[in-house]
Amino acid sequence: MTNYNDLLNKEITCACGRTHFVPIKDVDFDFTEEKLSKICKEFIPGKNILVVGDKHTHEQINQKIFDTLKANEFNAAMLEFDEKKLIPDEKAIGTILMSTDREIDGIVSVGSGTINDLNRLVGDRMKIPVITIATAPSMDGYASSGSSLMFKGVKKTIKGSTVTAIYGDIEVIKNCPYDLIQAGFGDIIGKKTSLADWVLSKHITGEYWCDKTVKLVEESTDICIREAEKIAQRDTEAIGHLIDALTLSGICMSLVDDTRPASGSEHLVSHYLVMKAVEKGELPPSHGRTVAIGTLISTLLYKFLFETKEFTELENSEKIKEDLMKYLPKEEKVKTWLTTLDLSYHPSDYGMTPELLREIVLKAGFIRDRYTVFRLLDSLKLLDRAADYLINYFYK
């Protein structure tokens, strides 16, 4: 596991020219309920604590957390969402804010992606500490300062502050539903194309770049890829490496105060699919699993790009391609990673018709202000041809 102490709650003077600071005070995946009272006394300045989770982890951990706080004379209240698929939107945030009639000194957030995003934003707006108890290796947002939320039907990353501390019990984490392990692995392999998109933007737009951050993300991602089979088998050490890599990705986003190290064109594919589902009144698909198919789609878009005359005529195209290939995987490797975790590599299994796939290629690159392969294809007037390429690849 990473020695997080080297990265947390201290100024880091970096060769990139910036001074990094991540205000998270502690990360420990050897958590037990017995440690909770000491943790809360250390990080929450008061006795009024709101425990927020969802019904899926009630017996496994929520009730234990609540009972432990009560037994240690904290004024604890508990909110459990009971939706089958919780949507992180204005309604959910309002539910947390209105769930107690007294002043809250801190939040204990029990869960994974959506729960964490909601509580982090509420904690930031209320200026109170949030302690996260991770229950699944499903996403990289535990240590991020940004919350991925739906606002007026549009998926946005809303900046706030990091949580105060992150804890988890590997035995709980490794025994979560298998689709959450798939989601976490999907989120991790997406770092390959997100780093490629960052390289591309560095060349084309002169965007800021941090070697230290890139190295941290790349090394932890590669460990998970090498251990894909063990992750699929719920091996304790391998699941530990997965939650470690996901947490480290979030820390890296906080280091540069941007989601750039961990989110690129593959995430735009995922966000677009979520937005379309919400627009239709359907349950949104899994973020991590749609990032996984988004990684294959982005990889294929780069393959198409490299074969075009328009790209080869770009200034420094050979150098750009050389640098991109340091991070970009081959399409067959991505397919192997997906099948190892029992994930499909065909868009139709994620609800994508040829028409929707075309729509994604034409529009997904513009739902965020971020330079990715979509933007370069657009500037070269290649988006339509790229959509044709993907449709022929997958559907004909």
Domains for the chain: give ranges and CATH numbers: 4-174 (3.40.50.1970), 178-395 (1.20.1090.10)
Answer left, alpha or beta for residue 169, where phi above 0 means left and psi between -120 and 50 means alpha. beta
Q: Give the dihedral of Cα atoms 104, 109, 113, 119; nearest 10 deg.
A: 10
Give 307's contacts (C-beta < 8 A, 6+ positions apart). none
Q: Please tell me the predicted confidence (pLDDT) of residue 151.
A: 85
CA distances from residue 36 to 2, 61, 126, 203, 321 in whole angstroms, order as listed: 22, 12, 22, 47, 50
pTM value is 0.93
Q: Can you state the percent helix, strand and coil of the chain, rounding each to 5?
A: 55, 15, 30
**3-state secondary structure at position 76:** strand
Q: Please tell me the predicted confidence (pLDDT) of residue 278.
A: 86
Q: Please tell me the predicted confidence (pLDDT) of residue 1.
A: 64
**3-state secondary structure at position 135:** coil
Name the CA radius of gyration of the chain, rounded. 21
Written as one letter, the residue type at 48 is N
Which residue ranges of the chain lie beneath pLDDT 50?
A: none
User: In whole angstroms, what is the distance from residue 170 CA to residue 149 CA?
Assistant: 27
DSSP string, 292-356: HHHHHHHHHHHHHHHTSHHHHTSTTHHHHHHHHTTTPPPHHHHHHHHHHTT---SGGGGT--HHH
* CA–centroid distance for 374 within its chain: 20
101: its two tokens: 């009639």
